[in-house]
A and B are shown apart, each in its own frame.
Chain A
Amino acid sequence: MSEAREQILAGIRKSLGRGKLEGAAAEAVEARLKGHERILVPKRSDGDQAHKIGLFVEMAEGVSCTVDRLESLESVPERLADYLRRENLPARIKQSPALEDTVIPWDKAPALEITSGAAVNEDAVGLTPAHAGIAETGTLMLHSSAETPTSLHFVPDTHVVLLRESQIVGAYEDAWDMLRQKLGLEPGASVPRTVNLVTGPSRTGDVEQIIQLGAHGPRRLHIMLVKD
């Protein structure tokens, strides 16, 4: 290992007035790492699923998301076509390959042109699934995989997210637990390359602190929230 590495570590130990952590001290720190103990979770998201869904929608709309609530996947094509028309957006959609396996009757909206893959600069509308919706701040958790490229979350002007009501959890920690479970993660095992927590469309306040939507990422974040 590099000389710099050894010197930095030795410097830290010297400043702390001890050697390398060993024995009980090391075990205590190790146990803290493995324990995944929650530090303090605000009470605002406590409650039944209906409360969490309500809070999620309220918080998401509070940060300029639009939320469309759907009875089933059946109505996704028509409602999405409506949305695009209303916002005067092109009917061309780049979706995450993961959604190819989702049964959506696209033939109900024949005007929509759907392709799958990672985003290129010409893509105006991206459609992706999400791993979870987090009620406490109206936040989406999305992650990379072979079927869910990260570029779709940032490159298109409009990001449409398909979320099921059962995917809504209360706190960030709940979403992390769900991710560990989904991927069968052991602490230290390989996590996805990228996990995005997304709370509203892109914004900036860098010119005189005037909030402007659509800085570099999506100008619009549209959540299609589907009943299970």
Chain B
Amino acid sequence: MQTTSHNFKQNARDALTDVQLQKALSKMRPGFQQKRADAVAKLPEFEDLRDRGRDIKNHVLENLDFYLERFESNVIANGGQVHWCRNSEEARQTIMEICRSVDAKTVTKGKSMVAEEIGLNEYLEEHGVEPIETDLGEYIIQLRDEPPSHIIAPAIHVNKEQVVEAFRKKHTDLPPDRPLEEVGDITDEARTQLRPKFFAADVGITGANFLIAETGQTVIVTNEGNGDLTQTLGKAHVVVASLEKIVPTLEDASCILRLLARSATGQEFSVYTTFSSGPRRETDLDGPASFHVVLIDNGRSAMLGTEYQDMLRCIRCSACMNHCPVYAAVGGHAYGWVYPGPMGAVLTPSLIGIDEAGHLPNASTFCGRCEQVCPMRIPLPKMMRHYRAKEFTENKTTSQVRAGLGLWSYFAKRPWLYRQSTKLGAVLLHALGGKRGRIAKLPLASGWTSVRDMPAPEGRTFQQLYKMSGHGKKGDAR
């Protein structure tokens, strides 16, 4: 997929003034957060499950080669094939070869972020195969010819009226004056349009939430049922998966599944969790005649053993972006590649490099909510900080930022000077705030004060107040 991550600042500026986008984002904020909180409250074991989920994935990553080989041998034992691919190009070619082997004209697709990562749709189209997205959100953005903006709700940036507009424009075989105002009408129309395509498709491509080493099964978690129609009705079932999706056993998968839906949509469990292994058996009445797992590295094996290894625990639930104030303000497209929000701010530079995606780890207030809600307890802010430090030591930060940091560190390294100057600063800012206690203009901070007033300090520094409160005395262990 083409990236515009290097252009994050401009992307974000555009996003903030995009009326349609802001309208759509305003609808998103309360829903996901409240639903997750409700689901978590109903399961007393949730926090313990997070610890256990983290431990499972850490164990897998430490033994990844073993589990991948075991997974492969079990897929083969079930009659399927595993195709190892180092990069996007190898993966695209492999999938195209499978399509050619069954003389494919059309391909139905379940939602897959790694398929976006390798730019699969464009490649298939260029080679004469028509990819049909079947998840409603993915279908909408395919009609609108744009990439997803969220990893589980790909069309979250689109308002209902825009969906209606896209349907009216593209579904030209239907009467132009048909009613299409209710969400039910839209869903029904997509259902009717796509149903025959499931039956006609030569190949069904899905992603995978898990790969189970013990059984050679691949797992998809969905709500619509499109993934299941995709993988049941096509002649061949192709699973596209990155290699960190492995878990050892069905018991491990059960544990992490208890975290996934609750963290993602706030459901107790998603509607369809489907375990697939191999092609249809000899006596089966339906199912695909062949089964292929396209196993993609694309930079992940190089993350092992580094300070970014923990990122490979990610189960793509989207809780981090659903709770991120930056994502909520600018949406997913501003991030410029496949993975937005806090997980994207760490994964994107890891996979496509800091030169292209260096802005993303800076797109955070470090409020810490992402880590607070991450079911796999991934220390996202810590890893973003690593990237900022790396950017600094590699001299990739702007001269303005470097000058500011230099000035700050001059004071920070001289405690007496620091205390005196902050005392002075607090008094001055207090005076500047006047009776209202708010400051409307500040030198060098017009970017901040042009749209809001800064609350003025009360006249004392944090250190002074801390001392006065009686904390921090000798003998106080805290």
Chain A residues close to B by CB (< 8 Å): 2, 4-5, 7-9, 11-13, 15-17, 20-21, 26, 29, 32-33, 36-40, 42-44, 59, 62-63, 97, 117-119, 121, 137-139, 144-146, 149-151, 153-155, 171-173, 176, 187-210, 212, 214-218
Contact = CB atoms under 8 A, between A and B. Distances in A.
A171 B254 contact: yes
B155 A206 contact: yes
Contacts of A9: 65, 68-69
Nearest to A9: B65
A204 B223 contact: yes
Given A199-B271, A209-B31, A214-B191, A187 B223 contact: no
Given A215-B191, A216-B134, A146 B285 contact: yes
The majority secondary structure among interface residues of chain A is loop
Contact of B229 (A193, A207, A216): A216
Contact of A39 (B252, B297, B304): B252
A194 B229 CA distance: 12
Given A43-B45, A137-B269, A197-B269, A176 B86 contact: no
Contact of B224 (A38, A150, A155, A203): A203
Given A137-B268, A202-B271, A217-B272, 13 more contacts: A8-B297, A16-B64, A26-B66, A29-B248, A33-B248, A118-B285, A154-B229, A194-B274, A196-B272, A197-B273, A207-B136, A209-B27, A216-B224
B191 A36 contact: no
23 contacts: A8-B297, A17-B305, A21-B66, A39-B52, A39-B251, A117-B285, A137-B269, A144-B284, A149-B284, A151-B233, A192-B277, A193-B276, A193-B281, A195-B274, A198-B272, A199-B267, A204-B187, A206-B137, A206-B154, A207-B140, A207-B163, A215-B136, A215-B191
Contact of B186 (A138, A199, A207): A207
B422 interface: no
B102 interface: no
Which 3 A-B pairs have CB atoms at the shortest separation, nearest pair first? A217-B225, A215-B224, A15-B304
Given A197-B274, A205-B153, A188 B215 contact: yes
Contact of B45 (A7, A40, A191): A40
A4 B67 CA distance: 17
Contacts of B283: 145-146
A4 B72 CA distance: 14
Nearest to B303: A15
B229 A118 contact: no
A203 B69 CA distance: 36
Contacts of B163: 207
A30 to B, nearest CB: 9
Contact of A118 (B251, B255, B271, B286): B286
Given A4-B90, A33-B248, A21 B63 contact: yes
B350 interface: no
B223 A144 contact: no
Interface residues of B, number: 107
Contacts of A39: 52, 56, 251-252, 254-255
Contacts of A188: 73-74, 77, 214-216
Contacts of A2: 83-84
B202 interface: no
A137 B42 CA distance: 12
Contacts of B252: 39
* Interface-central residue, A7, A33, A121, A145, by most chain B CB under 10 Å: A33
B228 interface: yes
Contact of B187 (A26, A29, A149, A207): A207
Contacts of B217: 191, 195
A176 B250 CA distance: 8
Contact of B269 (A5, A139, A190): A139
B98 to A, nearest CB: 15
Contacts of A215: 136, 187, 190-191, 223-226
Interface in B12-66: 24, 27-28, 31-32, 43-45, 48-49, 52, 56, 59, 62-66
A191 B277 contact: yes
Contact of B191 (A199, A201, A216): A216
B372 to A, nearest CB: 20
Interface string B134-164: 1111001000000000000111100110010
A192 B84 CA distance: 24
B410 interface: no
B112 to A, nearest CB: 15
A194 B271 contact: no
A193 B269 contact: no
A8 to B, nearest CB: 5
Interface in B256-281: 257-258, 265, 267-281
